[in-house]
Amino acid sequence: MFPPEGARDAQSTQPMPAYAPAAGTVRETAESPGFHKADGGAGDIARGKSEGKGKGKLGGTLQGADLGTEITASLVVFLVALPLCIGVAVASGTPAELGIITGVVGGLVVGMTRGSALQVSGPAAGLTALVAETVEAHGIAMLGVIVLMSGLLQIGLGMIRLGRMFQAISIAVVQGMLAGIGLPLMFSQSYPLADATAPGTAIENILGFPAHVLDTFTSGQTAIAALLGIATVVLSFVWKKVPGPVSRIPAALVAVAIGIVVAALPGVEVKTLQVGDLLSAVQVPGPEQFAGLADPAVLTAVLTFTVIASAESLFTAAAVDRMHDGPRTRYNTELIAQGAGNTVCGILGALPMTAVVARSSANVQAGARTRLSRTLHGLWLLAFALLLPSVLALIPISVLAGVLVHSGWKLLAPEQFPKMWRQDRGEFVVMAITTGTIVATALLEGVLVGLAAGIVLAALRMSRTSIEHRVEGDTAKLVMTGNATFLRLPKVIDALEAVGSAGTPRIRLDLMGVTHLDHACRSQIEEFVAQKRAPGTVRVELLLPDLPGPGPGRKPRPGPKPKRRSGPEPSTESPPASASAPVSAPVSPSWPPQPHERSSSGALYDAFYGPSQPGPSAEWYYLDTRPFEGLQDSEDARWRDHQG
């Protein structure tokens, strides 16, 4: 039958630019990135004033939408969703009708909520393996109870507002996720495109593709099916370039019409859709099934379904939000909506649902602007399955597979990889890791690995440390700036070893420009200083800021007094050594500027002390009060620059 979307996964998905409603579109929410109102709060929906003019306009919350566009978009989504509903159900070891029931609920129940305007929900390919294992272990009758309880848990998670945490996902992970869904989707649907059966996993489908191409044209019927599918793909790419109003008809509808005509020709025997009775497939759970909740294995399945379905739906929401400039997803509301949909699916004994990228992207690409299109797609699924199953039996599977191959290519978006490489090679690596892991394993695993890679990249970039060491006269100097964390510890150790092996009688470690110094680096530096001072043959001066400094309203912590090992006592005419004044600062009544002078000479004070003034407990260790060679000149130059 029809293989599941994306081979093993096909779902998944974060905030985008603010939405400026165009003419003839819906105004629901216009939230800027990072400024999301609380779900259900005032201002959740900014409804426009009623125009009351023109045909094909909707009233109420969908006011301003183009009715014709919404209907055609819903038909495109219907054509994409129908084979996927059947394929996911068959791959899960359940009747095909249960997949259609879940698709209907995804449209009519979840589709009418305000969580996400353009995201489409249905049976979850990412849950295919889990559903198959659950049915085999507990029977298909227990599936409804497990899905029902998972839905109730999702509603609870949404009510305590845990949905928003899924917004913390980088663009590279989202794009990698979309590519990781699109690539397996293309290869998996290339088999039904030629009336063949996909081998199984994404890797198996990719490796078996060359042999599949050779086998396709060994039979006349498979060649006809393949030509129908290929024609559908080509038509999907070029149809919008057709001049005139005919180009407004969705290419998928045109391809289906051509496919039906070709399939009806004498001598043509291509596979078509087969749908049974929906009502007879409904299996409402009874008391015996609810009693099974006492089994720990069943409760474990409930928790697993809840976590995976919630993660896939909200990750998909993040990806879909990046496909359009319409209203942003309300994550908590969407999680509650997904829970409501799964609750209804559980009552009907159907498959679990999540948001689905392939259907959602088809919805966006078809020009949908409101949730009307996704709601209508559920209505078409119900109407055709109940009233017109014979019409569905006329649609060639190869044509629908061609529609999905085109959707997979749009999700893959190969042009994004070189673009990301040019913009940010670190993010490119995260994107490639996410894509490769999804293809090799599954959607959820791939996203988690991508998130981990993104966190590592962020940690490395936040730990940027600049270390400069040189020898000037009889002094080996080391100047460190930036964030010194354990990730940069090897670099710090190398620099310390370099100044330690210089063989000079004096060492100066200047860390006043360090904005963050973690315990690992600080311990290493202090250990180095102690080792060098122990023999008494090397003079070591350490400028170590107290991080973090005292914040507003906090009393400064008492710090150690400056230590002096040798040298003359400081002159009463010169300022005392402090945590912020260099050893050789020019002696002047107004230099260096003191903290109480900041209001009148703030820029000069900042320039002298640096952007991050060390706290009062900053430590200075003096072994020699004489200025370093060349340091006086550099300080005088700084003074002249400020005066000039």
Please name the residues in contact with 430: beta carbons below 8 A apart, sequence gap of 6 or more. 170, 172, 173, 176, 450, 453, 454, 457
Q: How does DSSP assign 101-127, residue by residue?
A: HHHHHHHHTGGGSSS-SS-EEEE-GGG
**pLDDT of res. 307:** 85
Please name the residues in contact with 256: beta carbons below 8 A apart, sequence gap of 6 or more. 79, 395, 399, 400
C-alpha span between 179 and 502 (Å, rounded): 52
539 backbone dihedrals φ, ψ, rounded to 5°: -90, 125
Inter-residue contact 626 to 571 (CB < 8 Å): no
* Sheet of strand 563-564, all strands in order from the earlier edge strand to the far edge: 465-472, 475-484, 506-517, 539-544, 619-622, 563-564
Please name the residues in contact with 43: beta carbons below 8 A apart, sequence gap of 6 or more. 37
C-alpha span between 67 and 601 (Å, rounded): 64
State which amino acid sits at residue 473.
Answer: G
**pLDDT of res. 353:** 94
C-alpha span between 230 and 198 (Å, rounded): 17
Q: What angle do CA 274, 127, 337 make, to 5 degrees?
A: 95
Token pair 């030509």 is found at: 227
**pLDDT of res. 610:** 43
Alpha helices (H) in 109-208, listed in sequence order: 128-138, 140-159, 171-189, 202-207
**pLDDT of res. 546:** 66
**pLDDT of res. 74:** 94
Going 248 to 254 to 256 to 257, the CA torsion angle's sign is positive
Inter-residue contact 337 to 387 (CB < 8 Å): no
Kindly list the averaged pLDDT for each block of 10 residues, start to end, along the chain of length 644.
Answer: 42 38 37 37 36 40 71 91 85 87 95 90 80 88 94 94 80 88 89 90 92 88 92 90 79 89 90 85 91 91 88 88 88 94 96 90 89 94 88 88 88 92 94 94 87 90 88 92 90 92 92 90 92 91 69 42 46 40 39 42 41 43 41 45 48
Inter-residue contact 82 to 381 (CB < 8 Å): yes
**Axis-axis angle for helices 128-138, 67-91 (nearest 10):** 50
The tally of CA atoms less than 13 A away on the side-chain side of residue 73 is 26
204 backbone dihedrals φ, ψ, rounded to 5°: -65, -40
The two tokens of residue 522 are: 């600080």
Inter-residue contact 513 to 481 (CB < 8 Å): yes
C-alpha span between 344 and 286 (Å, rounded): 15
**Axis-axis angle for helices 251-263, 397-412 (nearest 10):** 150
**pLDDT of res. 157:** 93
Inter-residue contact 15 to 167 (CB < 8 Å): yes
Alpha-carbon torsion, ordered 405, 407, 412, 418, to 10 deg: 110
Residue closest to 399 by CA, chosen among 220, 251, 216:
251
**pLDDT of res. 548:** 52
Token pair 């949908």 is found at: 368
Report yes or no on whether pTM surpasses 0.75.
no
Inter-residue contact 327 to 19 (CB < 8 Å): yes
DSSP state letter for 591? B
